[in-house]
Structure 1
Amino acid sequence: MKPYLLAASLSLLPITAMANQTSTEIVEGFIAAYNTHDVKQMVQYTTETVRWMHVTGSKVEVETSSQAEFAAAMADYFETLTDANATILKMIDSGNYVSTVERVTWNNDGEQLSQCSIGNFRIKNGKLAEFWYLPAHACDELVVEDIVKDEPANIVKPEIGVLQETQQ
């Protein structure tokens, strides 16, 4: 019977380790799992009722509202963007909330593209309960005058990779 207890306690080890992480460590681990495209590991960082949302103008669009929906959405996402990679450029935490500025890069027909977005995460009992992403934007700091001079094609269009198929 002792081997079963050992196996059971070892299987809980990753969950216990996650519960002892700080809010920023939880978000960093979640992004690291994103970078390896490990959907199962990403789900380990979420609550069963995790909600993934996008803020667009005056609306908040719910992309997913459960672990199962989130896992399916991320599997679809990684099928489309097979080399997507995120870098946390800035991070700030306040209690159970963490905000990030992230740069996502991917390859499109041999061209390396990127966009940035601000993510806001709410941590509950050591897991991501909710996260909101603001509209994506070009990562480079452009002067307003430069934007007026540039043609729209020179600016990264927002919302690359938003999962329209998974919305209900």
Structure 2
Amino acid sequence: MQKFIQKFLPMAVAAMLFSVSAHAEMTGKHEVVTTYINAYNQKDIEQMSSLMHPDIEWIDIAGSTQTVSVSGKQAMLQGLAAYFATDLESVSVLQGAAVNGPYVSGVEKVLWVDTDNQERQQSATVVYELEDGLIRRVWYFPAVK
């Protein structure tokens, strides 16, 4: 029994440490995306900027077509500043988040009140790619109302 323990205990400890490490890495990636979305909800461009890779891309998916809507951090920040300057108040929430390697995916639900004072909502599948702890790419699938 002692030989069994001596042989397999190091592997069990290594597996446990790997599992803890992998969980921490997955949690960290999810936290980056959650922090980014929370900053969006607060219209905190500075916080959002700190989480963007310099070469960030926003990619819209429609059927079999991908369109790079925004390329580069400065272009993204300019677009956000223009959007935040409108009177539209919206809140975004990431639901059902999953982490797979450098990707965080889920369904992003957006809620807002339109100009007729009507509550609206839509959701879309979204995939965030992280590189060096920063958001490098965002793939946004068609919204469902």
TM-score range normalised by the length of the shorter chain: 0.7 to 0.9
Q: Provide the secondary structure at the position in 1 that maps to 2:120.
A: strand
Aligned to 1:93: 99
Query: So what's the TM-score if we normalise by structure 1?
Result: 0.67
Aligned to 1:5: none
After superposing the two structures, state which structure 1 stretch, 69-78 or 121-130, moved more. 69-78
Q: CA deviation at 1:81?
A: 5.5
Q: List structure 1 segments (4+ residues) > 6 angstroms apart after TM superposition.
A: none
Q: Larger strand proportion, structure 1 or 2?
A: 2
Q: Report how many residues are paired.
A: 118
Q: 1:94 to 1:40 in 2, by over 3 A?
A: same
Aligned to 2:138: 131
Aligned to 2:122: 115
Q: Provide the secondary structure at the position in 2 that maps to 1:22.
A: helix
Q: Provide the secondary structure at the position in 2 that maps to 1:82.
A: coil
Aligned to 1:82: 88
Query: So what's the TM-score if we normalise by structure 2?
Result: 0.77
Deviations along 1:26-63, one digit per CA (max 9) or x if unpaired, are 00000000110112211111111100111011211111
Unaligned runs of 5+ residues in structure 2 are 1-26
Letter of the 2:103 counterpart: Y
Maintained 8 Å contact 1:81/1:106: no
After superposing the two structures, state which structure 1 stretch, 111-120 or 39-48, moved more. 39-48
* Greater C-alpha Rg: 2
Letter of the 2:49 counterpart: V
Aligned to 2:5: none
